[in-house]
Structure 1
Amino acid sequence: MLDSNLKTQLKSYLEKVTQPIEIVAYLDEGTKSQELRELLQEIESLSERITLVEHADDSQRKPSFSINRPGTDISVRFAGIPMGHEFTSLVLALLQVGGHPIKLDEAVIEQIRNLDGDYEFETYFSLSCQNCPDVVQALNVMSVINPRIRHVAIDGALFQKEVEDRQIMSVPTVYLNGEVFGQGRAGVEEILSKLDTNAD
């Protein structure tokens, strides 16, 4: 899955990981599950701090995986194979769950931490979409800072039925607690101001 250049790069990034990481994969017999298994096995082989576990949970989308910090509620989820433009999102998720400092203003981090309520975000992306990583990375980092925020990034191409059922016309499309929350590029501050407006 990863060429040698990408592997070398990823290995050096993963040296910044300070906390153990558990990757939990939900796979079936399909070719995309095989591809995801291969990718996750390669990632596991690049760091002693990373453990890969396969889970048979039929309530989960397949192929999908979560990146967890054991003993905490910190978790970032992907449904699909985050390559293409989303590879950076995957690397950042590994680093952030693995304890690497988050590059956000302290006041913003505090604001995320203090959000009241439970938030279930779903972001539909495509691997060729240039605006998607901004949204995926913003929601991932928010879910690392505040575990009451849950986020799963979903590759629309692999979950076509959901895209049709929800009549999603463009990516990124974000759902919050089952309702459309936003479309198009957005960063942490924009998402926060929208959440705060909703809270008012």
Structure 2
Amino acid sequence: MLNTSLRSQLQTYLRNIRRPVELIVSQDGGQKSPEMLTMLNEIASLTDLVTVIEEQQGEERKPSFSIGQAGAKPGIRFAATPTGPEFSSLVLAILQVGGHPVIADRMTIERIRTLERDYYFETFISLSCGSCVDVVQALNMMTVINSRIHNITIDGGLFQSEVSARDISVVPTIYMNGELFGEGRSSFEELGARLHDIEMSMRAALRAAS
């Protein structure tokens, strides 16, 4: 799937990995599963620090795969084969899970680091959507900063029944803990500020109740 030029560039990027990364794949019987597995195996062939593991039990959304540190619970999952603009999101997630530093606004990083509640994001995208990339990368960065945050990126073209059931008409569309969180492009700083405000409001409500 990866041409010679892309493999060469990718091999250079993967030298920034500092710790082992596991790509855990959950397959179904459809034609997209072999495509996903082939892409991930090609990436793993370029470095000894990335390992592909085929999951037997599996995630509810298949095909999908997680990106995590070896032996740790992963915070990033793709229910998609991230090609096109989202290929950069896949590469960046592997690098950051592998120890490459998150480079972003320092205040936002510290706000994310201090969050104390659990946040589960579902981000619905289209693989041709340019504005989806910023949102996917921002949420994935947050999972690296704070292990209480999880994000799954879902290709709406693969999971059309779910898109229909939720009446999704805009990408990206973000759900947090099962509730609609946002639609359209958002930056790391904007999403971080919203999460910080939500957590501060929850803390204030708990203090008032006690």
CA displacement 1:68-97 (0-9 Å, x = unmatched) = 102334531100100011011001001000
Q: Who is 1:163 aligned against? A: 163
For the Cα contact (< 8 Å) 1:74–1:144, is it kept in 2? no
Instruction: Give aligned pairs, total.
Output: 200
Q: Who is 2:27 aligned against? A: 27
Whether 1:178 and 2:175 are equivalent positions in the alignment is: no
Gaps of 5+ in 2: 202-210
Q: Secondary structure at the match of 2:103?
A: coil
Deviation at 1:60, TM superposition (A): 2.6
Q: Who is 1:118 aligned against? A: 118
Aligned positions of 1:1-200 closer than 5 A: 1-199=1-199, 200=201
Deviation at 1:58, TM superposition (A): 4.3
Q: In structure 2, what is the Cα distance between the partners aligned to 1:77 and 1:4?
A: 27
For the Cα contact (< 8 Å) 2:132–2:184, is it kept in 1? yes
For the Cα contact (< 8 Å) 1:75–1:97, is it kept in 2? no
- CA shift in 2, pair 1:25/1:47, >3 Å: same
Q: Is the deviation greater in 123-132 or in 108-117? A: 108-117
Q: Secondary structure at the match of 2:190?
A: helix
Per the normalisation by structure 1, the TM-score is 0.96
Q: In structure 2, what is the Cα distance between the partners aligned to 1:65 and 1:74?
A: 10
- CA shift in 2, pair 1:35/1:57, >3 Å: same
Q: In structure 2, what is the Cα distance between the partners aligned to 1:45 and 1:29?
A: 24
Q: Secondary structure at the match of 1:78?
A: strand
Q: Who is 2:208 aligned against? A: none
The alignment-based identity, stated in percent, is 50
For the Cα contact (< 8 Å) 2:138–2:187, is it kept in 1? yes
CA displacement 1:20-74 (0-9 Å, x = unmatched) = 0011000122110010011011011011001110002244311100011023345
Q: In structure 2, what is the Cα distance between the partners aligned to 1:88 and 1:98?
A: 15
Q: Give the superposed CA RMSD.
A: 1.2
Q: In structure 2, what is the Cα distance between the partners aligned to 1:8 and 1:60?
A: 35
AA at the equivalent of 2:124: Y
Point out the structure with max Rg over C-alpha: 2
For the Cα contact (< 8 Å) 1:135–1:187, is it kept in 2? yes
